[in-house]
Structure 1
Amino acid sequence: MAASTCARRTPSGCTTSPRSGRWSMSIRDESLNDVPLELPPRLSRREFLRLSGFGILGLGLPVRWAGSALQASAGQLGRILLDRAEVYREPSFSSRHIMGIRRDEVYTILSAAIGDPFPEPNRVWYELDRLGFVHSSGVQPVRAELQRPARRIPYRGALAEVTLPFVEAYWEPSKKAKHAYRFYYASTHWVNGLTWDKKDRAWYRIYDDRIARHYYVMAEGLRIVPLSELTPLSHDVPLTEKWIEVSLSGQWVKCYEAGTVVFTAQVSTGTEFEHGAYWTPPGAYTTFRKRGSRHMAAGNLATGYDLPGVPWVSYITPEGISFHGTYWHNDFGTPRSHGCINLTPAAAKWVYRWTHPVVPGDLDELWTEGGTSVRVVL
């Protein structure tokens, strides 16, 4: 797949050079999806709590009051997820249509806003620099953070995450080699080698767990996840006092410690497609298997697509239903998966670290007889 570039009529929104393929900025490390919201001046307490509890915080968007307007942090970008996303003058589908923008184009996000009452539950719109507003469901909040290559890769390998809007994977460590995949921001991959090309550029060798082959990606676009980010959360809380509740009707997940909610987020669970129904089944489960990265593809219950590097996977059924991060849509709160419980990458990482079993940093996956209890309810 050739690298896409921004439309010529909107060069100010482009963060890549069509000729060099280089990202034009390197941003300090901040949390995923760091886009504050512009809230209407008259917002009832009930609506604010509802939006912030499920419609906003579930998307990983911090809410910071700054008068009546809240702006995105410096360097916040958005990657277009749809073949064509529509831009409007205001955060409303009834406002004047400005233009369409294409998949994988990357733009600066200036702010976010609460728009029309519909569509529910996602009323969040992003304001793109010098363009207008686009509904958030078709935009992945991303950043562009170049990385220094690791000095060495551990013997068993290490987990890495993409820190650019996207990077290209090849079958050999060369841009002239045959293209394999495009890896997207916040996707994770198992790195088990480091090599240098003739131009002294560092490449990571990445193992594909689905086809048992290797790809090569330039090291500047991936961050080796430090062991400090893989340590368990609330490790002192007994296993019997941790449990998870997933609401299919509410499209949310809540994590409990001794009866107290310690984490909540919006999710996207299973739904019906033209080719069949893939409902997330209610019931009692445990997180018996976990892996930091998984290549999910058609034929796997988790997805009907070809998705390398699905991040932070915590399985609850032998058939493949799991909690996992999602980089191909931003429409949480709406059922749209093939049975899995979709979360933002940041939320999936939290669940991964909080649940049992605890996966050591030098292992790509771990199975266990018992894990954290999960209740999926209607």
Structure 2
Amino acid sequence: MRKYISRRDFIKLAGLGFGAMAFTPLSAHDIDYRWDVFSQPRRLPQFPGSAIIGRVCEPDIDLRNRPTNDPIVNSSIAKLGADHLLEWNREVIGNVIGGLPNQRYVETPQGYVYASVVQPTKNLPNTPVTELPNGQGFWAEVTVPYVELAHEGTVASPWLQDHIAYNFPPRLYYGQTVWIDQVRTSNGFPEYRWNEDANGRGYGYGGYGEFYWADGAGLKIITDADVATISPEVDPNEKTVSIDLDYQTMSCFEGAREVFFCRISSGKRYDPVTGQVTDTYATPAGSLLTYWKIISKNMTAGNEGAGYSTPAVPWCTFIASGGVAVHGAFWHNAFGERRSHGCVNVTPEDAKWIFRWTMPYVSLAAGEERRELPDHGTIVTSNETQF
């Protein structure tokens, strides 16, 4: 059973993990970070040159000379800190002992890393704009492994407080979506200001009203085509979603034809503090509905022992009361095993597809990127036979 760590523990351990890797060329994250002198975002670093770049999502992760964690083999050759970047060659099936369902490892030029803790990312830098289009703010999507952030104003969120406490640089990661309300040019580089509340147009629910500046080259402006409805010609009543909680999969159907499939990470079946089996964090089974959507949302809940504070969770499609949503997860790659606090985690790319395909349909018009349709959404059937 994987041990759950609080968000404070994660930041602390991740900070201690900096510099643990001996392969300097891949340590783009390994910087001397000081809050008292960092008033502007750093430029994008030199990312690894592979088509897929693996970002280590947890602290103190083993780099192994073979794809197994069998202690008899003793395959560990180094430790990687959080946000360490790796050249991703391919995924291979290994031998994972300890009760974890995922047997996948990422093969890199230096060795193997357990795939569940490595986010697959890409380096797709953008040509940033130098002023707001038509004087209006815009939604943007991170298209590089990460972008550094510089905070403006009053510190309010638990997420940022923890980063300051453990001297861990705040960043946005590949796949996150944010609302940009200002553009400036600093030393010849366009920078975007992320408004995490967006005056009610961004997060809305759960935001702390903070502002952050980032290198605009790491953020792609989201266009109408990015949110355009998939299969608009299909009768919305013919669209249905099936979630298999036993096998941790999701399928989308148009009539009887399956048009989309992905692996998921649904709610845990145990309390992360006591380790006891419980329904507290379980994803609900039964007939559900995609009744509410928002492009990006701050998700904060729990407490110091078993809590989380995660800003800019992308492409949220809510399917049940209590804040249960299908949304992108950039903090792990453990799809295929239960992991969440009740939501249905999928990759940001999968979350975006589901967001676009299901009802209610969303546009970028003011007030239309966050819509509620309590009685007429897409039907979601969540099935579970095992406990």
TM-score range, shorter chain: 0.7 to 0.9
In structure 1, the partner of 2:89 is 110
8 Å CA contact 1:205–1:214 kept in 2: the answer is yes
In structure 1, the partner of 2:224 is 227
Among candidates 172, 187, 195, match of residue 183 of structure 1: 172
The alignment's C-alpha RMSD in Å is: 2.7
Structure 2, gaps ≥5 residues long = 1-10, 33-41, 154-162, 197-202
Q: Which amino acid aligns with 2:149?
A: A
Q: Per-residue deviation at 1:103?
A: 0.8
Structure 1 residues 256-265 or 12-21, which shifts more? 12-21
Among candidates 299, 311, 326, match of residue 296 of structure 1: 299
8 Å CA contact 1:287–1:371 kept in 2: the answer is yes
In structure 2, the partner of 1:145 is 124
| Alpha-carbon distance in structure 1 between the residues aligned to 2:82 and 2:226 | 31
8 Å CA contact 2:16–2:81 kept in 1: the answer is no
In structure 2, the partner of 1:45 is none
Q: Which amino acid aligns with 2:190?
A: A
What is the SS of the residue equivalent to 1:297? strand
8 Å CA contact 2:44–2:148 kept in 1: the answer is no
| Alpha-carbon distance in structure 2 between the residues aligned to 1:223 and 1:269 | 29
Instruction: State whether structure 2 residue 184 is matched by structure 1 residue 204.
Output: no
Structure 1 residues 274-283 or 308-317, which shifts more? 274-283
What is the SS of the residue equivalent to 2:152? coil
In structure 2, the partner of 1:23 is 45
What is the SS of the residue equivalent to 1:306? strand
8 Å CA contact 1:26–1:145 kept in 2: the answer is no
Q: Per-residue deviation at 1:284?
A: 1.2
Q: Per-residue deviation at 1:169?
A: 2.3
Taking the TM superposition and a 5 Å limit, the aligned residue runs for 1:27-176 are 74-94=50-70, 95=73, 96-116=75-95, 121-129=101-109, 131-151=110-130, 152-153=132-133, 157-172=137-152
Identical pairs, percent: 29
Structure 1 residues 341-350 or 116-125, which shifts more? 116-125
Instruction: State whether structure 2 residue 184 is matched by structure 1 residue 195.
Output: yes
Q: Which amino acid aligns with 2:372?
A: W
In structure 2, the partner of 1:71 is none
8 Å CA contact 1:154–1:192 kept in 2: the answer is no
| Alpha-carbon distance in structure 2 between the residues aligned to 1:10 and 1:181 | 23
Among candidates 356, 366, 374, match of residue 380 of structure 2: 374
What is the SS of the residue equivalent to 1:264? strand
Residue-by-residue CA offset, 1:176-198 (whole Å, 9 max, x unaligned): xx97832111111112221223x
Q: Which amino acid aligns with 1:229?
A: D
Residue-by-residue CA offset, 1:52-111 (whole Å, 9 max, x unaligned): xxxxxxxxxxxxxxxxxxxxxx43211111111111111112342211111111121222
In structure 2, the partner of 1:59 is none
8 Å CA contact 2:68–2:96 kept in 1: the answer is no
| Alpha-carbon distance in structure 1 between the residues aligned to 2:59 and 2:52 | 22
In structure 2, the partner of 1:50 is none
What is the SS of the residue equivalent to 2:179? strand
| Alpha-carbon distance in structure 2 between the residues aligned to 1:331 and 1:17 | 25
Q: Per-residue deviation at 1:25?
A: 4.5
| TM-score normalized with structure 2 length | 0.76
Q: Which amino acid aligns with 2:271?
A: F
Number of aligned positions between the proteins? 324
Among candidates 334, 349, 370, match of residue 365 of structure 1: 370
In structure 1, the partner of 2:38 is none
In structure 1, the partner of 2:264 is 267
| Alpha-carbon distance in structure 2 between the residues aligned to 1:274 and 1:8 | 29
Q: Which amino acid aligns with 1:9?
A: A
| Alpha-carbon distance in structure 2 between the residues aligned to 1:109 and 1:165 | 13
Describe the shift of the 1:170–1:18 C-alpha distance in structure 2 as closer, same or farther (beyond 3 A).
closer
Q: Per-residue deviation at 1:165?
A: 1.7
In structure 2, the partner of 1:334 is 337
Structure 1, gaps ≥5 residues long = 28-73
What is the SS of the residue equivalent to 1:220? helix
8 Å CA contact 2:152–2:210 kept in 1: the answer is no
| Alpha-carbon distance in structure 2 between the residues aligned to 1:79 and 1:8 | 13
Residue-by-residue CA offset, 1:110-158 (whole Å, 9 max, x unaligned): 22211127566422111122x2111101111112232211253455532
8 Å CA contact 1:25–1:145 kept in 2: the answer is no
